[in-house]
Amino acid sequence: MSVLGNVSISLTEEQGMLLDVARGFVRDQAPIEAVRAQLETDTGFDAGTWQSMVEMGWAGIALPDTVGGAGMGVGSAVPVFEALGGGLLGTPLLSSTLAGQLIWRAAGESAAGWLGRLCSGSVGTIAYLDGGDWGASNMGVALGADGALAGAKSYVADASVADVFVVVASEGGAPVLAVVERSSVADSAISENVLIDLTKRAANVDFSGVTPAEVIRGDAVSVAIRDTLLLGALLTAAETTGAANKCLASITEYLKTRRQFGKLIGSYQALKHPTVDIYVGMENARSFVYHGATIVGDEALDQDAEIACRMAKVAADEVMVFAGDRSVQFHGGFGFTWECDSTLFIRRAQWAQQMYGGAIHHRKRLASLLLDS
């Protein structure tokens, strides 16, 4: 048995169509000027764009049809996120998709009410981190005997626009999911973060004194948390791969048009060869991402799927950090300015590389998965 394990990769006809549709949507509805127009707004996205995405069924793309979703499996979200990443289009879709996964995986159809709301466009988000460590237990928020939460969560994605929070909490040491309505959280409990990527939003949220609308308990909760974090890594990797591809296109465009010393700068191998490495890295990341899409399912993730999600994240982070960094450098003085899209790419790279764990987080776990079993 090879250490390479499962190497299957495929794309259903439906996923292929989704990829086309999503790329077309980004091209037509979210050109880079539209993305830029949202950089310094409160929400970071256009409400009309989000509404269109909901109407296309993307809010429920990863959920089963029995709860109002598309019923195409969580892998079908991958082409959508790759396309969205290609436009650097920031919306709450990632947060809401993962909140849906966490609830579904922990509670199944008994949570159809919540899941139905998410599918129809209510924004969900997971409140997970207690601080900066994706590898910590993150059980700092306690659910007391009085039924109220105590403690705060950090860097909750899209908190200010969320309708529903899924708070990872501890009840007598056991993990539970506290589903909290936005209406039970005071405005003053939400303090917005200053994020490096201006297409994204997050906030610290103090849940102290808040009584959840529902608490999801049971054996499935731990596995659901673990698997949702892995899917977060996979979907972030899909988005990042799309962004890396767009970044590559922006670099090659500049290299084909900018002249110095009497020739197009793209003819210099010092610029050409690293650009090829960005291309190769992007294609590798894309292979990992679609391999992940091929083997993740609604059931608990097996070891092959875990490896796939972690490798996808590592590969996407590495190429995006390199691409964003080189994009600024290769654009020269212009690359250093706010007007150059390199700014957006390098900021996306630095945001994405930590989400759901950075390279060392995943590589350390991959070493055990690959070398100790």
Partner 1 sequence: MSDNKAALNAFRNDVSAWMAENVPTDPGFLLPLTFLEVGTEQQLDFLREWQHKLWSAGYLGMHWPSEYGGQGADPAYQYIVDKALAKHNAPIIFNTIGLNWVGPLLLDMGTDEEKAKYIKNILSGEEIWCQGFSEPDHGSDLGAVQTRAVRDGDDYVVNGSKIWTTLGNYADHMILLARTNPNTERKYDGLSFFLSPMKIDGVEAHPIRKVTGEYGFNQTFFTDARIPASCLMGEEGGGWMVAMKTLEYERGVTAGQASGYWGVTIQVDDMIEALSKLEHDGEPLLSDPVVRDDLVGFIMEAKALSLTGRRSGIPALTSDYPMGLALSVKYRGTEYERRMKQYTASKQGAQSALYVGDADAVSGGFWQRAYFSNFGATIGGGTTQVQANIVAEHVLGLPK
SS3 30: coil
Find residue 125's DSSP bridge partners: 165
CA–CA distance, 348 with 230 (Å, rounded to integer): 20
Nearer to partner 1, 226 or 363 (CB): 363
- Contacts made by residues 269-272, CB under 8 angstroms, sequence distance 24+: 271/330
Write out the residues near partner 1 by the rule CB under 8 A: 2-5, 7-11, 15-16, 19-20, 245, 248, 252, 255-256, 263-264, 266-267, 269, 272-273, 275-276, 279-280, 283-284, 286-288, 290-291, 311, 314-315, 363-364, 366-367, 370-371
CA 160, 165, 166, 172 torsion-angle sign: positive
Q: Could you tell me the smallest distance in angstroms from the CB atom of residue 265 to partner 1?
A: 9
Q: Are 293 and 75 in contact (CB under 8 A)?
A: yes
Q: Could you tell me the smallest distance in angstroms from the CB atom of residue 79 to partner 1?
A: 9
Q: Pick the closest to residue 46 from 174, 199, 274, 202 (CA basis).
A: 199
Nearer to partner 1, 147 or 332 (CB): 332
Q: Could you tell me the smallest distance in angstroms from the CB atom of residue 138 to partner 1?
A: 24
DSSP strand E in the chain: where?
Answer: 124-127, 142-143, 149-150, 152-157, 164-171, 174-181, 190-192, 202-206, 214-216, 259-260, 263-264
Q: Could you tell me the smallest distance in angstroms from the CB atom of residue 237 to partner 1?
A: 13
Which residue type does 134 have?
A: W
Nearer to partner 1, 17 or 223 (CB): 17
Nearer to partner 1, 186 or 280 (CB): 280
- The pair of structure tokens assigned to 329 is 């450098």
Q: Pick the closest to residue 254 from 346, 347, 326 (CA basis).
A: 326
Nearer to partner 1, 291 or 326 (CB): 291
Q: Could you tell me the smallest distance in angstroms from the CB atom of residue 268 to partner 1?
A: 9
Which residue type does 34 have?
A: A
Q: Could you tell me the smallest distance in angstroms from the CB atom of residue 291 to partner 1?
A: 5
Nearer to partner 1, 194 or 371 (CB): 371
Q: Pick the closest to residue 188 from 151, 149, 160 (CA basis).
A: 160
Q: Could you tell me the smallest distance in angstroms from the CB atom of residue 286 to partner 1?
A: 7
CA–CA distance, 123 with 28 (Å, rounded to integer): 24
CA–CA distance, 157 with 128 (Å, rounded to integer): 10
Nearer to partner 1, 222 or 256 (CB): 256
